[in-house]
Amino acid sequence: MSSSMDTGKGKDSLLPAPTDIDALTKAEHPDPFAVLGPHADAAGGQFVRAFLPGAVSVNVLARDTGEVLGRLDDAQVTGLFVGHFTQARPYLLQVDWGNAVQTSEDPYSFGPLLGEMDLYLFAEGNHRDLSSCFGAQLLEVDGVPGVRFAVWAPNARRVSVVGDFNGWDGRRHPMRLRHANGVWELFVPRLQAGEAYKYEILGAHGILPLKADPVALATQLPPDTASKVASPLAIDWQDGDWMQAREQRQRRDAPLSIYELHAGSWQCETDDVGDIERQYSWPELAERLIPYVQQLGFTHIELMPIMEHPFGGSWGYQPLSQFAPTARYGSPDDFAAFVNACHMAGIGVILDWVPAHFPNDTHGLAQFDGTALYEYANPLEGFHQDWNTLIYNLGRTEVHGFMLASALHWLKHFHVDGLRVDAVASMLYRDYSRKAGEWVPNRHGGRENLEAIEFLRHLNDVVAYEVPGALVIAEESTAWPGVSESTDQGGLGFSYKWNMGWMHDSLHYIQQDPVYRAHHHNELSFGLVYAWSERFILPISHDEVVHGKHSLIDKMPGDRWQKFANLRAYLSFMWAHPGKKLLFMGCEFGQWREWNHDQQLDWYLLQYPEHRGVQKLVGDLNRLYREQPALYEQDDVSQGFQWLIGDDAANSVYAWLRWSKDGSPLLVVTNFTPVPREGYRIGVPFAGTWQEVINSDSAIYAGSDYGNGGGVVTQEVASHGQGVSLALNLPPLGVLILRPVTG
């Protein structure tokens, strides 16, 4: 390459066509690589063109030596600089911006970077690691460090990446279109982690509001909305033992007791009036939360959505960055370290995940390239009336694959143990929460959303294959058959389904004044009619303690003593009932007020013995649950449950046996009236002493301490189809759990 400009070619030959120049200056050029960067001259030399609005001058340097090869001429078009060199050599651009000089490789000197297989798998909707391919990826190209940006916008006329690094000027870094796939890409040399960026997209009808990256791995702290270039996760994973044993830990015949929490309002720093002054970071949460969960004996925590969401009041259920942990609590590395710490402490981590809908924020996915790209175009299909959100068009292969990749991102990169899939019912039915005439039937004329069903089945199959042992849990409130049945048996393939029917019926029952409970006796037992139709989790979730529904303890009837007794009895009934367990934060110690995401839990209540008593009971229930296979091994089969008394409505008494696989029973007896029952006879299968392992009315839980002195011996009196029986003292508003003493 000559060190001087070749002027013999004539200036006009250096310039692009007038139409190209016009398109560049208007930021409308669909193919900037056809004009900018190096272009061979057919004689071993090259033309170099750069469009740098605001630059004063541009020198070309040899990449290997740094020597000045020449200067690009001002083309008398604002921002356009051109030159010709007799030898083609790798080069740097030295740009004088007036207040600073910047030296870097020319983004338009690099060829296409995304592999054909990546693009094919993306178009097919089956790219299993999209977060390592799309978005902003730190990498080296030809020994040059920088960031490769890639975004799907098939209907855009032009896409530019903008940020602080180019003054948010969409003319500076227009991207290359990979035509067959509608994907735009650009490598920006020397860019580093931490840079904020968005995409400027020219749609059919003009420039759209700047868009955050759908596959961003990190974001700015809300209310700011830009994406951020993230470093690859740099976490020293020390959870090998946990990951190796996880599949066994999370089998259907293993104990599963989940503590659901909102990371921002569990504990935090508060101001004088009790409002949140500062939310804790992931390291601070780990320090406080992990010992607490260990103390209470839960096997898992479930975090309400931590994917980045602009509006904190959505509690995370309106996420826009499906691959980025919210910046509210720290970096992606911080979150990974939190998961690692949980695993080291023997606690699993489940994330709430929202594939059903997304908010219509202008910087988000809505009308991403000027068209309905991620959402259905028809509002009768694509708009959620209840939540003022948009519905993913999962029938579009790219959208299907995008959400599939999001699920795998959390499970594989962050070692997350399971996903709770939000609002599955709204995904299954096209007429969900819609009146006649407000929905579009499927291709068969039915109400089922066939595309969403296919997505959920594919998701569960892929997770089972790619992340064996990981849980996928459905929040599904209808009678859809086979939610937790395998896909090869015609089911949806979920690990578990939330038992919303049990939750509704049992809460309705427990809210009745005990005087009237006899008339509602069947509500408490109805769940056993269908208890083995699915693999169930019994959920007392955040949804039950907000929006005027009252806190769990405040749902209970009676005076203060009765409320606490009812709460302890209800929790004991729940832990003794077939089905895995989920309890929302604050319920474990009887918080009086409804949950408020802007305040931490009312921890001061633990100075009172009744609140400490509930907390201790939950811990004891969890320990008993984990220690006694009868309470978890046969949750999903009828052999694990046996009624003894189900029809004593007059006394509001129930009694049943839970059986382990090896034939070891536990006896559960409930008395849902405030009247103590002395000498209440119940038939049991084994003679000898039966030990009280839980009495919800015990003094250690701040109860009245009415019971059986720790145990009772059988009598040779046949009852309830059994040869021997126990004469039990049943505490008021209490639950007893007893086991036979062997040896």
For residue 540 the two structure tokens come to: 């007392």
Mean pLDDT of 491-509: 97
Query: Using 50, 70 and 90 to split pLDDT, how confident is the model at 271?
Result: confident
Model confidence at 591: pLDDT above 70: yes
Q: 127 or 10: whose pLDDT is higher?
A: 127
Query: Using 50, 70 and 90 to split pLDDT, how confident is the model at 742?
Result: confident
Q: How far apart are CA 626 and CA 632, in angstroms?
A: 8
Quick one: pLDDT at residue 28?
Answer: 93
Model confidence at 126: pLDDT above 80: yes
Q: How far apart are CA 366 and CA 521, in angstroms?
A: 49
Mean pLDDT of 510-525: 95
The mean pLDDT value of the chain amounts to: 95
For residue 168, give the DSSP letter.
T
- pLDDT, tens only, 640-650: 999 999 999 99
Q: How far apart are CA 51 and CA 25, in angstroms?
A: 8
Quick one: pLDDT at residue 277?
Answer: 87
Candidates 6, 20, 73, 475; catalytic one: 475
Active site residue 475: yes
Q: How far apart are CA 553 and CA 566, in angstroms?
A: 8
For residue 656 the two structure tokens come to: 């049943």
Among the residue ranges 66-80, 202-216, 419-433, 525-539, the one predicted with the least confidence is 66-80
Query: Beta strands of 329-407 (E only): which ranges?
Result: 348-353, 358-359, 383-384, 389-390
For residue 435, give the DSSP letter.
-
- pLDDT, tens only, 224-252: 999 999 999 999 999 999 999 999 999 99
Class of residue 65 by CB neighbours under 10 A (exposed 0-12, middle 13-18, buried 19+): exposed
Look at phi and psi of residue 115 and say left if phi exceeds 0, alpha if psi is from -120 to 50, else beta: beta
Active site residue 284: no
Torsion angle defined by CA atoms of residues 292, 295, 300 and 301, in that order, rounded to the nearest 10 degrees = -20
Residue 608, phi then psi, degrees to nearest 5: -100, 135
Query: Using 50, 70 and 90 to split pLDDT, how confident is the model at 743?
Result: low
- pLDDT, tens only, 289-316: 999 999 999 999 999 999 999 999 999 9
Of all residues in the chain, what percent carry a pLDDT higher than 90? Answer: 94
Candidates 73, 213, 369, 422; catalytic one: 422
Query: Using 50, 70 and 90 to split pLDDT, how confident is the model at 10?
Result: very low
- pLDDT, tens only, 630-676: 999 999 999 999 999 999 999 999 999 999 999 999 999 999 999 99
For residue 374 the two structure tokens come to: 């991620």
Q: What is the pTM of this model?
A: 0.95
Among the residue ranges 343-347, 610-614, 696-700, 716-720, the one predicted with the least confidence is 716-720
Quick one: pLDDT at residue 12?
Answer: 47
Tracing tokens 């303690």 back to the chain, one arrives at 545
For residue 392, give the DSSP letter.
B
Query: Using 50, 70 and 90 to split pLDDT, how confident is the model at 3?
Result: very low
- pLDDT, tens only, 702-737: 999 999 999 999 999 999 999 999 999 999 999 999
Among the residue ranges 5-19, 122-136, 184-198, 337-351, the one predicted with the least confidence is 5-19
Model confidence at 9: pLDDT above 50: no
Model confidence at 42: pLDDT above 90: no
